Structure 1
Amino acid sequence: MRNYERDQEFMNHVGHLIRHPRFQRLDGITQHQHSTRLEHSINVSYTSFRIARKLGWDKKSTARGALLHDFFYYDWRVTKFNKSHAWVHPRIAVRNARKLTQLSKKEEDIILKHMWGATVAPPRYKEGYIVTMVDKYWAVKEAAMPLRRVWQKRRRFSRKFLGSHNH
């Protein structure tokens, strides 16, 4: 069982959305080279939820908006929207999310504005800033996974090699 699955409060807010068959379709779509869109969405949601909870902010809206922020089915690297993807995909995500659940104004804003920095309009709510920053963090972390594995192997090799020659 993964950490987020053990967090009953988190699962009470978003578990039904994660288990929904339409949302589960994201598991077959690559997001940042080495993660699926489902994995990415859950990573962003759970991390954002934990930050909002620690700050005493609206953790439910944060978790839900973050979970649904990339709720679209096309490969953004090969689509006709490529240049406008940062603006287009949040609107598609909101439309898809509305088919699963009723969204609050805050949740809609979190989804629509999560690309702030690549787009002009900043989030209206403080929780949107959490999701925006956490999304960038996970994008970099997920894209860098193979490098981390290479570095870990080299570090293990160096420790083994250097350790055996220090005696």
Structure 2
Amino acid sequence: MSVYEHSLAVARMCLRIAKYFPGEVDMRSLVRGALLHDYFLYDWHIPDESHKWHGVTHAGDALKNARRDFELNEIEQDMIRKHMFPLNPVPPKYRESWILCMADKICASKETVKRH
């Protein structure tokens, strides 16, 4: 599965989860953050020293690239930066970030099981 396909699946899952999440959800930020959460612009499947620590570093790489190419609000930045929680230890600040954390893990789990 490509990063593009994964990001679309995560955005769809975010919308499904948001229906049941308590409180107001900024749907525009939710979708934008979900689509950009893995905007790291390299193929992490190819062995390379520069992305040896992909699981820990890619959220920061994605945020740096997204900030360069798009105007992001605080929610979107938090979503991208913290979507790997708890691997990255700082917890999400916004509902949208928590939704993305859940959606990304659900989709990644499904993709992993489907692949094997």
TM bracket (short chain): 0.7 to 0.9
Please show how residues 44-83 of structure 1 align to structure 2 within 5 Å.
44-55=10-21, 56-77=24-45, 78-80=47-49, 81-82=51-52
Tell me by how many angstroms 1:72 deviates.
Answer: 1.5
Tell me by how many angstroms 1:140 deviates.
Answer: 1.2
CA distance in 1, matches of 2:86, 2:113: 21
Relative contact order higher in (CA < 8 Å, ≥ 6 apart) = 2
Q: Which residue of structure 2 lines up, in the alignment, with residue 136 of structure 1?
A: 105
CA distance in 1, matches of 2:38, 2:83: 9
TM-score by length of 2: 0.85
- Give the total of aligned pairs: 112
Q: Is residue 2:76 matched to residue 1:110?
A: no
TM-score by length of 1: 0.61
Q: Normalized per residue, which structure has more helix? A: 1
Mapped contact 1:72–1:96 kept (Cα < 8 A) = yes
Tell me by how many angstroms 1:118 deviates.
Answer: 1.2
Which residue of 57, 73, 76 maps to 1:88? 57
Mapped contact 2:17–2:103 kept (Cα < 8 A) = no
Mapped contact 2:10–2:34 kept (Cα < 8 A) = yes
Residue deviations 1:65-122 (CA, integer Å, cap 9, x gap): 111000112232423232x323321111112212332000110000000000212111
CA distance in 1, matches of 2:93, 2:34: 15
Q: Percent identity?
A: 39
Q: Where does the alignment leave 5 or more consecutive residues of structure 1 unmatched?
A: 1-34, 148-167
CA distance in 1, matches of 2:71, 2:19: 22
CA distance in 1, matches of 2:83, 2:59: 8
Q: Is residue 2:5 matched to residue 1:39?
A: yes
